Structure 1
């Protein structure tokens, strides 16, 4: 079942702001308690809602997204911050030479919220982010582990049945595609969901990439109920049980969201 926020940019923005203010910003502030003047970039910023609470606290922000139309939406919501020079909004690929030239070692915090699970070649990206971090910089990631009940983002399905069915993304590829097609999902939705089969990321795989690319994990938080589910399913956020956190792989199936802060090894 497509949710209202999928088609309502204003609602989507307001939910991003609330989620960031109550969960993302406090998590990052444990490492960076003084937010005024903090240099923050969000990759895949969309409407800019995640950055809004940082801007309110005096951070200097850059929002980057590949889709110009989403950057224009962000300008509509955050134009005042752009006008006074506190925010830059850029429709560009962060690998572009001119982007790298302007922002090399520029950011204290880089944010990827619900983004890494959509990005191919995650090793390359995470390694590259070192070049954009300041000497004290860290990277924040928030994502749903692949093996959790809705790790395939099947909530975007128009079929009410499929949107609530857990674990269907773990079916063999041909069966999963066939199920989506038989339920009448559009080719665009099927393409998006099948791409996630390739890019979806588990807790263990993420942590192996972090180690392999030369980072330390400074903070992590496991959620039994993802904070964003407050808006999607009217469920109150809840951290994962302590004993469940300690069971590798099994925790993937019952942890609906992970928060991380990582920094380059010294």
Structure 2
């Protein structure tokens, strides 16, 4: 069965708020200790839970998502902030020329939380974000490395067995698809998981793109246990053992989440 947060919008929103307040914001505050008044954009904002604690701290926020349905949900959760103008929610592609024209060199922080692993051309978007950053701006990324036990997002499966089965996303495509069908997963879920197989990103690939696009890493944190697993599996967050985090490629298999802040050179 799929997890509760995949079926209940309110639960998903509240979990996003809690995770943002306790983990994402303290990480961003390492570079921006005085967070009040920052101009912040989240790409793939969904229900708006990540932005909520930033709004509470006085940030001026823009939430962007391709899904009008999810923007509508965010409007419902955050109407007190959209009503005052502190928050703007937009269903739009950030590559659109009118979006770039309005927000060029605007944002002090751009957030991609559990988003980059769903984006097909990751090099393109990481390069494009430079145009939207203010002179002091940085980009936050939080994502699960592809090779980690549940890097294929199999937790969205309807089968309880598959949601808990590690590393199955690393099977060759025909075997992986066959396994999903054998457990009678619906075709939309199979399609979603196969798309993630195409876009999943490793630690090393992410850092190569960052270097090629002429950013520098200002903050980095690896988790052995992803903070979001508190809600998915009832376990507490735990940072990765530093010697293991220093071993290229191998670290991907045992690191369930990474946080980065990067800024242009």
Q: Normalised by the shorter chain, which TM-score bucket?
A: over 0.9
Partner of 1:252: 252
What is the rounded CA distance, in whole Å, between the counterparts of 2:31 and 2:211 in structure 1? Answer: 20
CA distance in 2, matches of 1:126, 1:91: 20
Structure-to-structure mapping, 1:100-139, within 5 angstroms: 100-139=100-139
Any stretches of 5+ residues in structure 2 without a counterpart?
none
**Equivalents in 2 of 1:172, 1:65: separation in Å?**
31
The equivalences for 1:1-266 within 5 A come to 1-265=1-265
Report the TM-score when normalising by structure 1: 0.99
TM superposition shift of 1:179: 0.5
* Structure 1 residue 36 displacement after superposition: 1.1
Q: Distance in 1 between matches of 2:35 and 2:87?
A: 14
Please report how far the alpha carbon of residue 105 of structure 1 lies from its aligned counterpart in structure 2 after TM superposition: 0.4
| Offset, 1:262 | 0.3
Give, in whole Å, the separation in 1 of the partners of 2:91 and 2:32: 27
Q: Alpha-carbon deviation of 1:252?
A: 0.2
| Cα distance in 1, alignment partners of residues 103 and 217 from structure 2 | 23
Q: Deviations over 1:151-201 (max 9, x none)?
A: 000011111111111000000011001100111001100000000111000
Shift of the alpha carbon at 1:242?
A: 1.2
Give me the whole-angstrom Cα distance separating, in 2, the residues matched to 1:118 and 1:248: 23
Q: How many residues align?
A: 265
- What is the rounded CA distance, in whole Å, between the counterparts of 1:192 and 1:157 in structure 2? 10
**CA offset digits 1:118-143 (Å, max 9, x no partner):** 00010000000000000000000000
Gaps of 5+ in 1: none
Q: CA deviation at 1:7?
A: 1.1
- Following TM superposition, by how much is the alpha carbon of 1:84 offset from its aligned partner in structure 2, in angstroms? 0.6
The alpha-carbon deviation at position 35 of structure 1 amounts to 1.2
CA–CA distance in structure 2, aligned partners of residues 32 and 88 of structure 1: 22
Tell me how large the CA RMSD over aligned residues is: 0.5
1:111 is paired with a residue whose SS is strand
Report the Cα distance in structure 1 between the residues aligned to 2:155 and 2:223, rounded to whole angstroms: 18
SS in 1 for 2:78: helix
> SS where residue 209 of structure 1 aligns?
helix
Task: Compute the displacement of 1:211 (Å).
Answer: 0.4
Say which SS state the counterpart of residue 110 (structure 2) adopts. Answer: strand
